[in-house]
């Protein structure tokens, strides 16, 4: 009896091409696995090379460390910016995961403090993240979805701490953004001298965020529009400064000793 159209596998066997189709499908799956592996290797190599040489490091060096040709790199990332954005998106995912983990703490104040500690720890140990946030401020339109995800999680942490009565009522999301900004130059300046000094500064800042320490503020918090303009101004200023590479830091330390 001939197979019906409702039996596609039997029909393929009947036509004698099932082994051929299965082989093609298996080969395609293998190619996809290989492509994913190359993608992961390239991103990991880029993080390593950017950390050593800065975001303008040669793409050929990234491809070499990943064990692939430069053509493979360009097949995955048509421009340097595409590679940079892939790393930044990965780091944004880590920040979202940190916020979610912190929110699981039933104590609102501990949740906020835990998140700030972990988020700044990520920033302190990852010079590439600081460079990428300088190169691609999250205020850019292409990061609208990620920015909204972060905003929702940050607001949830702040609201829980406020409801508990632990966080001063006038501390806003824009204040949180400014807090993060204030730590970037501190982390950069002390990275080679006292790499954990930012923790002391954070404890001092946290004491000022407690509800019982609050004093009346004459200046209102920045609006969302003002924060966006301030972000653009900050990044425009910093982009005119050469990045601090390890070799430049060593030169500065030698100069300071002479």
Indicate where the chain has its CATH 1.10.10 domain(s): 8-78
**Rounded Cα distance, 202 and 209, in Å:** 10
Instruction: Check: pTM over 0.75? Answer yes or no.
Output: no
Instruction: State the Rg of the chain over Cα.
Output: 25
**Rounded Cα distance, 5 and 82, in Å:** 46
**Rounded Cα distance, 73 and 66, in Å:** 9
Q: Which CATH architecture has domain 84-246?
A: Orthogonal Bundle (1.10)
Q: What is the pLDDT along the chain (258 residues), one digit of tens a residue?
A: 555 545 655 554 545 555 555 555 555 566 678 788 999 999 999 989 988 888 889 999 999 999 999 999 999 999 998 898 888 888 889 999 999 999 999 999 999 999 999 999 998 988 777 777 666 655 566 667 888 899 999 999 999 999 999 999 999 999 998 898 889 888 888 888 899 999 999 999 999 999 987 777 778 888 888 877 877 776 676 556 544 444 444 444 444 444
Fill in the DSSP letter of residue 152.
Answer: H
Indicate where the chain has its CATH 1.10.357 domain(s): 84-246
- CATH topology classification for 8-78: Arc Repressor Mutant, subunit A (1.10.10)
């Amino acid at each position: 009896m001939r197979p019906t159209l409702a039996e596609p596998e039997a029909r393929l066997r009947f036509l004698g091409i099932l082994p051929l189709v299965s082989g093609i499908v298996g080969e395609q799956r293998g190619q996809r696995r290989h492509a994913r592996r190359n993608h992961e290797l390239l991103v990991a190599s880029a993080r390593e090379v950017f950390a050593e040489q800065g975001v303008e490091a040669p793409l050929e060096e990234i491809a070499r460390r990943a064990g692939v040709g430069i053509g493979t790199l360009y097949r995955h990332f048509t421009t340097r910016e595409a590679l940079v954005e892939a790393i930044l998106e990965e780091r944004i995912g880590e920040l979202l995961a940190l916020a979610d983990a912190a929110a699981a703490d039933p104590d609102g104040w501990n949740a906020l403090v835990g998140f700030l500690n972990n988020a700044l720890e990520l920033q302190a140990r990852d010079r590439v993240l600081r460079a990428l946030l300088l190169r691609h401020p999250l205020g850019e339109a292409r990061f609208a979805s990620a920015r909204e995800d972060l905003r929702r999680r940050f607001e949830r942490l702040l609201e829980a701490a406020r409801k508990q009565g632990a966080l001063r009522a006038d501390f806003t999301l824009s204040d949180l953004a400014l807090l993060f900004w204030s730590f970037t130059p501190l982390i950069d300046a002390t990275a080679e001298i006292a790499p954990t000094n930012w923790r002391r500064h954070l404890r001092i800042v946290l004491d000022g965020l407690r509800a019982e320490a609050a004093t009346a503020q004459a200046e209102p918090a920045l609006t969302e529009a003002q924060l966006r303009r301030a972000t653009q101004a900050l990044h425009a200023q910093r982009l005119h400064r050469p990045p601090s590479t390890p070799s430049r830091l060593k030169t500065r330390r030698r100069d300071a000793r002479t």
